[in-house]
Amino acid sequence: MKKYKAFTLFLCIALLVPALFGVGKVFAANPSFTIGEVVTDKTVTILIKDAPKNREFIVRMGEYDTKAINGIEAGRFQTGEGGNLQATIDIPVAFAGRAQIAIRMDSVTGGWYYYNWFWNKKEGGTWPPPSTTPEPTPSSPVTTPQPTKTPPKIVPTITIISAVESQSVTIAITNFPKNAEMRAFMGEMYTKGKDGIPVGDFTTTDAAGTEVTLNIPGALANDERVAIRVESVRGGWYSYNWFWNKQGGRVVTPPSSGTVTPAPTQPGDTSKYPALSIISVDSGKTVTIKADNLPQNTEFTVLLGKMWTRGVNGIPSATFNSGPQTSAELTVDIPASLANESLISIRIQGTNGRYAYNWFINK
């Protein structure tokens, strides 16, 4: 049986909500981590944010700029109650002396992952050899000059630390120039924050990363997910990300990748397509939904399925008729076979072909 070196896993006391926010509902972001202490060629400490409950994660390391995909397994940890965690992990011997190393954590179940990189040995560290096709051996000796080392590619990043629903979000930015003026923007999901609403100016510090809390604009306060972008006032540096703002909030439809021919409009229908939002969830038991833009006097079936299925061919949980109304709110049972799923897809399917789908956090 393969054995792994033990590493220390410290649970943080709780999800930290800055006192200045007052009382507010915290909506957890996707799992992420930043780099803490590095002991060259020995260990690296990662600071994990928003870990899901009761999940096992595998930590891998690889060459810089590989995202540690198919990397060397360096350890595993359990999230327990989730939230903010700290883990110290052994650096594989294969990467001893490397200047930079990629690191990644993947959940064994649930599909969560995150990757980053860290400096292992800044002074005198080695780099992976370039991948090249060997040239034929020349007939006479030829002196080949040593290749010039290409500087490592530095990419600015934004990490979501936490979000207070409809109020504010705390981010950490790395790899931006030090002591530089920055401007932050927010916009609808899928916009990358381009031409977004300005939400604050700040200056980076001398440290490796800068942490800042920004207010969510009123125009985006009800959005389920919000795009965020940071740009340098001078120099052209930028990065973007997104965060969960409000469970059951307004869902932005992703842009179409091609031309879509809409279904013909029937008499009495509105020109809009149905939309489905999540109102509340009783874990493992029921989910309350609201459907809008419904065609009138149409029979609908509510289907639930595993995450990523969009509820297609899902388990029927309820039926309803829109009647003369164009919206409906109802509570449906979560099927027993899905009661322990972390994330569940839900769909309403009309007899006239109209449909909408969404998903919700069950546990």
pLDDT tens-digit series, residues 184-243:
999 999 999 999 999 998 888 765 578 889 999 999 999 999 999 999 888 788 889 988
pLDDT at 14 over 70: no
Return the pLDDT at 83: 87
β-strand pairing of 56-63 with 100-107: antiparallel
What percent of the chain lies above the pLDDT cut of 70?
80
The DSSP symbol for 230 reads E
User: What does the alpha-carbon distance between residue 54 and residue 81 come to, in Å, rounded to a whole number?
Assistant: 6
| Helix/strand/coil for 20 | helix
Chain Cα centroid distance, residue 177? 24
pLDDT at 348 over 90: yes
Return the pLDDT at 123: 87
**Tell me, which fold does domain 9-119 have in CATH?**
Immunoglobulin-like (2.60.40)
Q: What is the mean pLDDT of residues 262-278?
A: 59
Structure tokens at 84: 């903010």
**Tell me, which fold does domain 275-361 have in CATH?**
Immunoglobulin-like (2.60.40)
User: What does the alpha-carbon distance between residue 210 and residue 202 come to, in Å, rounded to a whole number?
Assistant: 10
Return the pLDDT at 25: 35
Max CA distance (Å), the chain:
89
User: What does the alpha-carbon distance between residue 283 and residue 261 come to, in Å, rounded to a whole number?
Assistant: 38
Count of C-beta atoms within a 10 Å radius of residue 245: 26
Between CA 218 and CA 222, with CA 220 as vertex, the angle to 5 degrees is 95
Return the pLDDT at 27: 37
Is residue 216 packed enough to be buried (19+ CB in 10 Å), middle (13-18) or exposed (0-12)? buried
Q: Quick one: which H or E segment has residue 262?
A: none
Structure tokens at 202: 């700040």
pLDDT at 282 over 70: yes
Beta strands across the sheet bearing 168-174: 157-164, 168-174, 209-215
pLDDT in tens, 122-148: 888 898 876 444 444 444 455 555 555
On whether the CB atoms of residues 362 and 334 are closer than 8 A, the answer is yes
Structure tokens at 131: 């991948």
Return the pLDDT at 82: 86
pLDDT at 325 over 50: yes
On whether the CB atoms of residues 82 and 54 are closer than 8 A, the answer is yes
| pTM for the predicted model, two decimal places | 0.35
User: What does the alpha-carbon distance between residue 278 and residue 247 come to, in Å, rounded to a whole number?
Assistant: 7
Return the pLDDT at 23: 35
pLDDT in tens, 65-101: 789 999 999 999 999 888 888 999 999 999 999 999 9
CATH number of 157-244: 2.70.50.50
User: What does the alpha-carbon distance between residue 174 and residue 32 come to, in Å, rounded to a whole number?
Assistant: 14
Return the pLDDT at 155: 75
36 or 273, greater pLDDT: 36
Return the pLDDT at 145: 55
User: Which residues fall within 8 angstroms of residue 277, CB to CB, at 6 or more apart?
Assistant: 248, 249, 250, 251, 289, 290, 292, 358
Would the CATH topology of 9-119 be identical to that of 275-361?
yes
pLDDT at 38 over 90: yes
- The domain spans of the chain are 9-119, 157-244, 275-361
Return the pLDDT at 143: 52
On whether the CB atoms of residues 31 and 105 are closer than 8 A, the answer is yes
pLDDT in tens, 145-162: 555 554 445 678 888 888
pLDDT at 323 over 90: no
What's the whole-number average pLDDT of the chain?
A: 80
